[in-house]
């Protein structure tokens, strides 16, 4: 039966190549820009894909609009609120649109072979009430970056536990390192740094059934340790963690001012350009390597408004071909979301720098993006979490406030 289903899916997919059964259709695609300049803007990637697709499908045009991450989610929301969403959006979250009934289900638009190729935990994270609407597009994980030069001068080895991390940070501080461990809990991406530490402490944002557990005893212990053992001992640098953003921490690492920090793949290029010699190891947990690390995925979604289901599905099958997934991942140092592209990247010598991140992905835990409440919870966390590690901070109180927000938002979601 599986073989028959796959064969039927292949037939459907191949039948779509070169013809979508209609003509004169324009697909509107809105996507996020992963580039850091005009030279490597994602617009170039999508324009190339659109031209290649259109040349094989004369009756279909793909109209591409690319916006910065600061603007793209807002732009799509404005379109959807005005009743004129794009056919396809590649942005940071999908759950709100799924909950409003605006999206096609993944299996309404994707062929069976393409669906089967997605990494399992990413497909699961794309579900709202056990139905997949969010289609993973790009992924990343986090590892501990450390400055090899600073570590060698202090005769240190990379830490494997929190106690070792604190000891290494103290040794770096004694040698005048500006940021022994950079702890960015500022509003840019506090939810990422927070989640990595929560996982290292044995908990997370939710339990196994998806209930928020932000103020669990383990999480309170984690932030108490951060307050007392890192921040309180002056091991996180001159900027208060609640005011330190990820981009600033990465810039400081690239200047050679940071001993250690939690980083994702794009930091490799940034550090290389500045000549910083760095190493990468799994982010330590309380007593060793955590059972899971943090993963992040960005999402593709298909809006129902235009009714272009067949054309959308045919184009998305093309987008998720191994060749195209690899090309995008390599251009922006991101991890592929499909098994075929992941296997190819693992085997290719040119991608060896990404292997530490690829090895983390199968066990990575993602934000609870399938909950429509997550957007509100994340925004609240970015505002508050830095207070938990202030010298006079009260981790239990701050996490309790965040839990109250999460519980109320979750209740409102479930009542709909």
Is residue 37's pLDDT more than 80?
no
Task: Round to whole Å and give the CA distance between 80 and 221.
Answer: 42
Average pLDDT over residues 282-296: 89
| pLDDT at site 375 | 86
Task: Identify the pLDDT of residue 269.
Answer: 86
pLDDT at 320: 98
pLDDT for 416 equals: 64
Is the per-residue pLDDT at 410 higher than 70?
A: yes
d(CA 242, CA 141): 22
The pLDDT tens digits of the residues spanning 386-398 come to 999 999 999 999 9
22-31, 164-173, 207-216, 319-328: segment of lowest average pLDDT: 22-31
| 13 pLDDT above the threshold of 60 | no
Q: What is the mean pLDDT of residues 80-91?
A: 97
Q: Please tell me the predicted confidence (pLDDT) of residue 102.
A: 97
Provide the pLDDT for residue 15: 37
- What is the average per-residue pLDDT within 158-164? 97
Q: Could you give the percent of the chain with pLDDT greater than 70?
A: 94
The per-residue pLDDT of the chain, averaged, comes to 91
Q: Average pLDDT in the 327-345 region?
A: 94
Provide the pLDDT for residue 19: 43
The residue that leads in pLDDT, 365 or 20, is 365
Confidence check: pLDDT of 20 > 70: no
Statement: residue 372 has pLDDT above 70: yes
Lowest-confidence pick of 34-38, 128-132, 152-156, 261-265 = 34-38
Residue 188: the pLDDT is 87
What is the pLDDT at residue 18?
A: 41
Least confident of 6-10, 122-126, 157-161: 6-10
Rounded CA gap, 13 and 177, in Å?
56
Q: pTM (2 decimals)?
A: 0.83
pLDDT at 125: 92
pLDDT at 96 over 60: yes
Output the pLDDT for position 7: 36
Q: Calculate mean pLDDT across residues 267-292.
A: 92
Which one has a higher pLDDT value, 23 or 100?
100
Average pLDDT over residues 196-208: 95
pLDDT of residue 23: 62
State the average pLDDT over residues 21-31: 84
Q: Which pLDDT belongs to residue 28?
A: 98
Q: 187 vs 149, which has greater pLDDT?
A: 149
Mean pLDDT confidence for 348-366: 90
Instruction: Give the pLDDT confidence score for residue 16 in this predicted structure.
Output: 40
Res. 81: pLDDT tops 80: yes
């Amino acid at each position: 039966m599986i073989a028959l289903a796959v064969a039927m899916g292949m037939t459907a997919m191949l039948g779509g190549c070169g013809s979508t059964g209609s003509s004169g259709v324009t697909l509107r695609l809105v996507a996020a820009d992963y580039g850091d300049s005009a030279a490597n803007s994602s617009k170039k990637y999508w324009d190339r894909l659109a031209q290649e697709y259109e040349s094989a499908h004369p009756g279909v045009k793909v109209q591409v609009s690319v916006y910065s991450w600061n603007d793209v989610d807002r732009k799509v929301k404005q379109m959807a609120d005005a009743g004129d969403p794009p056919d396809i959006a590649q942005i940071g979250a999908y759950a709100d649109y799924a909950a409003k009934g605006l999206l096609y289900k993944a299996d309404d638009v994707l062929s069976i072979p393409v669906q089967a190729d997605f990494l399992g935990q990413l497909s699961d994270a794309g579900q709202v009430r056990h139905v997949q609407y969010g289609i993973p597009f790009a992924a990343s994980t986090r590892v501990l970056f450390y400055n090899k030069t600073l570590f060698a001068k202090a005769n240190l080895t990379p830490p494997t536990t929190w106690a070792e991390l604190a000891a290494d940070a103290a040794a770096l501080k004694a040698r005048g390192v500006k940021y022994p461990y950079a702890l960015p809990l500022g509003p840019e991406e506090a939810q990422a740094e927070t989640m990595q530490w929560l996982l290292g402490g044995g908990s997370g944002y939710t339990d196994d059934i998806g209930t928020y557990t932000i103020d669990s005893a383990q999480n309170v212990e984690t932030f108490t340790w951060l307050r007392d053992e890192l921040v309180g001992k002056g091991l996180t640098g001159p900027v208060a963690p609640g005011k330190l953003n990820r981009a600033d921490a990465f810039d400081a690492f690239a200047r050679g001012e940071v001993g250690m920090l939690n980083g994702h793949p794009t930091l490799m290029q940034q550090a290389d350009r500045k000549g910083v010699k760095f190493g990468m190891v799994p982010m330590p947990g309380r007593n060793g390597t955590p059972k899971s690390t943090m993963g992040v995925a960005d999402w593709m979604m298909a809006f129902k408004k235009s009714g272009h289901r067949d054309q959308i599905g045919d184009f998305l099958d093309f987008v998720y071909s191994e060749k195209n997934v690899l090309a995008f991942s390599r251009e922006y140092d991101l991890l592929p979301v499909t098994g075929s592209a992941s296997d190819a990247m693992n085997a290719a010598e040119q991608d060896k720098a990404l292997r530490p991140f690829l090895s983390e992905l199968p066990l990575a835990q993602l934000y609870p993006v399938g909950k429509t409440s997550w957007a509100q919870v994340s925004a609240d966390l970015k505002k508050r979490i830095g207070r938990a590690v202030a010298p006079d901070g009260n981790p239990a109180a701050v996490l309790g406030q965040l839990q109250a927000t999460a519980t109320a938002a979750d209740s409102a979601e479930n009542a709909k």
